[in-house]
């Protein structure tokens, strides 16, 4: 397993391709956009990150941590190749 940490995906696509190679194409991304829930400003960065994954040929599965139980959470992650989330939101949701 490889771990790639980034704060802005749209600016790090070349680095992701270097780290993961072509194996990222067709991969399933669990996209947790709850990081933007309490953000008051422009949330365009969420859509930019989503589009960056799509440009890599990834399949996106959206996950809302406010609407998912622990069983669904685990089942969804089992089939994921990539998980895109913000850790504080995950911890506060109780889904760990």
Strands (E), the chain: 28-31, 59-62, 82-84
Give the residue among 49, 56, 47 at the shortest CA–CA distance from 84.
49
Q: Which domains does the chain have, with CATH numbers?
A: 9-93 (3.40.50.880)
pTM above 0.85, yes or no: no
Residue 22 predicted with pLDDT over 90: no
Q: What is the pLDDT of residues 26-75, one digit of tens each?
A: 888 888 888 777 778 888 888 888 898 998 899 999 999 889 999 998 99
Q: How far apart, in whole angstroms, are the C-alpha atoms of residue 22 and residue 56? A: 9
């Amino acid at each position: 397993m490889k771990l790639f940490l980034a704060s802005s995906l749209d600016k790090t696509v070349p680095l992701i391709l270097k780290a993961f190679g072509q194996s990222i194409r067709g991969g399933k991304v669990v996209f947790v956009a709850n990081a933007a829930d309490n953000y008051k400003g422009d949330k365009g960065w969420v859509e930019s990150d989503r589009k960056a994954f799509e440009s890599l040929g990834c399949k996106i599965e959206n996950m809302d941590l406010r609407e998912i139980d622990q069983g669904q959470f685990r089942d969804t992650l089992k089939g994921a190749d990539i998980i895109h989330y913000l850790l504080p939101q995950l911890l506060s949701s109780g889904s760990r």
